[in-house]
A and B are shown apart, each in its own frame.
Chain A
Amino acid sequence: MDRRETLRTIAAVAVLPALWQFAPRELMALADRAPRVLDARQSATINAAAQRIIPATSTPGAGDVHVEQFVDLMLADWYTPAERERLLAGLPALDRFLEATAERQTAMLVALDGEAAGKPDHWFSMLKYLTIWGYYTSQAAQTGELGLWPLPGHYDGCASYSA
């Protein structure tokens, strides 16, 4: 072999941990990230609306897990400019949401939900989708009501279940 060249021989498998463990937490959680698209009032409005869409019960609500931060990330880094503008253009419909009574807030959202029914491109459909996705992928939902984490470490295809 030509000695001027160093062949990069690699050990294909490094020393393994004795048992499985969680991979390094190389990926940042969303918490504490400064909003990039939404202003403070928009963030607060989405937080409050999300909490009415998925309210706290025996488990937290979507506002409690701050889905508005997930909404902001999706608007900044995932949606196309046209999609982002569609959602932002709809938000003024909730301009007075924060000052409204609980009953009035619910009525506003029920009306919007009816208006958006069957229209996946409607801005409220987008907001509701992000609320549901953001909530059910949150640590609270995944470890709480869905019971998926920590990983069970085994398979039971006929475990008992009650809704």
Chain B
Amino acid sequence: MAVRRTQPEFDAIVVGSGITGGWAAKELTELGLRTLVLEAGRPVDPVRDAVEHVPPWEMPFRGLGDRVATQKRQPVQQRSVSFDELSRRFWTDDVDNPYTTPADRPFNWFRARQVGGKSIIWGRQVYRWSDLDFEANLRDGVAVDWPIRYADLAPWYDHVEAFIGVSGQSEGLAQLPDGKFQPPMAMNCVEAHVRDRMGQRFGRERVLTVGRVANLTMPLNGRAPCHYCGPCQRGCITRSYFSSINATLPVAQHTGRLTLRPHSVVHSLVYDRGRVTGVRIFDSETRAEHEYRARVVFLCASALESARILLHSTSATFPDGLANASGQVGRNVMDHIKGAGASGEIAGWTDRHVVGNRPNGIYVPRFRNVGTTRSDFIRGYGFQGGADRQDWRWRLAAPGIGVDLKRHLTALGPWTMSFGGYGECLPREANRCTLDRGTVDAWGVPVLHIDTSWSPNELALHKDMSAAAVEILEAVGATHIQPHSHPSVMGSANHEMGTARMGRDARTSVLDAHNRAHDVPNLYLTDGACMTSSGWQNPSLTYMALTARACHHAADAMRRRDI
């Protein structure tokens, strides 16, 4: 098929419109650059697609989901905790977008193809990193050193937090720097009780704070405060949580310099004489092939998708994939290990309950290997969780019939406090994705083969999560304490990252200290692929800060005619 070439009418092309692509679109257009955003999926109309206020009795399957259609088209996506009968529309189709793994090493790759990408369905927990994290690889002799430190990123965390709106509580912890917060969401009475009892027992070693979450508690730039309806993964008509469609893309649009092209499935990046000159796409509706050209390209397609695009963009100079002279593209796949923690009942407060659905929980920042050193593992984990009263859904198998059963089902049960860990994953070259040339997606592009496993360090962390959660629950006087410990399938935290890492040395890393490819001076990559280590915090805030910083670096370089 003939490829239609266009003159470099754009200053910049951004691949992807998710959480980092949206930020790149905002920053680049505000910096005066005519920017084309290529998005593989469809447009989203908030008025039509935001379905967060549909009550269960108006759902065909009453919240149980369209089981037949889901098993047929989304058998992987349905494993996400945010996948439900209505949010299903925001997850990708597994039949059109397959991938492969070894039979004994599964990987859950959660994906979203639409304008806004996964920013529509993300968990919205936002935590800064500190130098405990940026110095970790150097200190431990693991992989390669980060080429940046907290001081490099701190002003960009400020920049991002001020725009997205983060509600949270300042705590003054070195391992979890405070940010520019809107007023925190409230804890319920039992969470506040547990916080106080933990303070008595653990002092400032183990701190319980309300989650720092990208949901507004105050108006911001025409966006309304959260009204506590609950299911953010179904969209938000009041734009109260941060997403590309709620915040960054409208600002980019307002500059008059944004061109947003949905239905644009990237085939490859075009390389010519030392530079990336354009992006080749398929129109997913017409199947026509197009090529767009620009002075600089930002790859923001998500960690694994960006690696796939690079691996598939081969040339005489880069036979193993664009910007892959180091051989590191696709390697060092990481995700946070979860699936361990504990829950327990807290006596009392039977005359109290929760009104409204807070889209947020509590957080216990990392306390392992902070100040003290453990012998059984390096790094650490944070706990997410919360307290709530058990309702009828916990008693679906209750015995009996009649008035007594109805009374039993309607009444709220005791308060339950739960903690679940998110543990750091070490970067290892053996955890990698490669092109599976024997399998193609709906557009004929080879898919990824993802081959990963947890290392002993992650499993040791995981074991400690349950023990530490039990210890906390015992300390606060909980009863009926139930630990759980089932290592998650990698990918399940939806924090996949590391496949084109930043580093100081072009021989051992893909990107430099400003997310620019060592090998290709006008190519930037700012999604989770750039991560040199995983930290223990939810990563999106760091992705956004790195993106904004890289955009300013690129604009400066273009002004200086370095690009």
Q: Known: A21-B53, A155-B358. Is A161-B352 also a contact (CB below 8 A)?
A: yes
Tell me, yes or no, whether B47 is within 8 Å of chain A by CB. Answer: yes
Task: Say which residue of B187, B189, B245, B401 sits within 8 Å of A53 (CB atoms).
Answer: B401
Tell me, yes or no, whether B563 is within 8 Å of chain A by CB. Answer: no
CB of B229 within 8 A of CB of A24, answer no
B1-31 residues with Cβ-Cβ distance < 8 A to A are 4-7, 9
Alpha-carbon gap, A152 to B59, bound state (A): 20
Tell me, yes or no, whether B104 is within 8 Å of chain A by CB. Answer: no
Q: Known: A1-B9, A5-B290. Is A136-B392 also a contact (CB below 8 A)?
A: yes
Tell me, yes or no, whether B67 is within 8 Å of chain A by CB. Answer: yes
Task: Say which residue of A13, A20, A28, A132 sits within 8 Å of B53 (CB atoms).
Answer: A20
Tell me, yes or no, whether B117 is within 8 Å of chain A by CB. Answer: no
Those 8 A-B pairs whose CB atoms lie nearest each other, nearest first: A157-B188, A155-B356, A161-B353, A158-B189, A12-B249, A137-B56, A137-B62, A156-B355
- Shortest C-beta distance, A133 to chain B (Å), equals 6
Neighbouring B residues of A5 by C-beta, 8 Å: 4, 290
CB of B351 within 8 A of CB of A162, answer yes
CB of B46 within 8 A of CB of A120, answer no
CB of B224 within 8 A of CB of A19, answer yes
CB of A155 within 8 A of CB of B249, answer no
Q: Known: A23-B52, A134-B62, A137-B63. Is A154-B410 also a contact (CB below 8 A)?
A: no
CB of A160 within 8 A of CB of B352, answer yes
Task: Say which residue of A16, A117, A153, A160 sits within 8 Å of B399 (CB atoms).
Answer: A117
Contact with B along A98-142 (1 / 0, CB 8 A): 000000001001100100010010000100110011101111001
CB of B58 within 8 A of CB of A29, answer yes
User: For the side of the interface on A, what is the size category?
Assistant: 35 or more
Neighbouring A residues of B349 by C-beta, 8 Å: 158
Neighbouring B residues of A30 by C-beta, 8 Å: 57, 60
Tell me, yes or no, whether A25 is within 8 Å of chain B by CB. Answer: yes
CB of A160 within 8 A of CB of B401, answer no
CB of A27 within 8 A of CB of B262, answer no
B346-394 residues with Cβ-Cβ distance < 8 A to A are 349-358, 391-393
Tell me, yes or no, whether A86 is within 8 Å of chain B by CB. Answer: no
Count, A-B residue pairs, CB within 8 A: 205
Alpha-carbon gap, A106 to B404, bound state (A): 13
Q: Which residues of B contact A (CB under 8 A)?
A: 4-7, 9, 43-48, 50-64, 66-68, 115-116, 185-189, 191-192, 224, 227-229, 237-239, 244-246, 249-250, 253, 258-263, 290, 349-358, 391-393, 396-397, 399-403, 405-406, 409-412
CB of A20 within 8 A of CB of B238, answer yes
Task: Say which residue of A12, A21, A29, A55 sits within 8 Å of B253 (CB atoms).
Answer: A12
Alpha-carbon gap, A10 to B259, bound state (A): 8
Q: Known: A21-B53, A57-B406. Is A9-B229 also a contact (CB below 8 A)?
A: no
- Shortest C-beta distance, A90 to chain B (Å), equals 16
Q: Name the prevailing secondary structure of the B interface residues.
A: loop
Alpha-carbon gap, A155 to B43, bound state (A): 32
Alpha-carbon gap, A74 to B67, bound state (A): 10
The residue of chain B having its C-beta at the shortest distance from the C-beta of A77 within the complex is B68
Tell me, yes or no, whether A2 is within 8 Å of chain B by CB. Answer: yes
Neighbouring A residues of B189 by C-beta, 8 Å: 157-158
CB of B352 within 8 A of CB of A159, answer yes
CB of A23 within 8 A of CB of B61, answer no
CB of B45 within 8 A of CB of A14, answer yes
Q: Known: A137-B62, A153-B356, A155-B358. Is A120-B245 also a contact (CB below 8 A)?
A: no
Q: What are 13 A-B interface contacts by the 8 Å CB criterion?
A: A1-B6, A10-B115, A12-B244, A13-B249, A113-B401, A117-B399, A133-B62, A134-B62, A155-B185, A157-B187, A159-B352, A161-B350, A161-B412
Neighbouring A residues of B396 by C-beta, 8 Å: 129, 132-133
CB of A154 within 8 A of CB of B356, answer yes
- Shortest C-beta distance, A128 to chain B (Å), equals 8
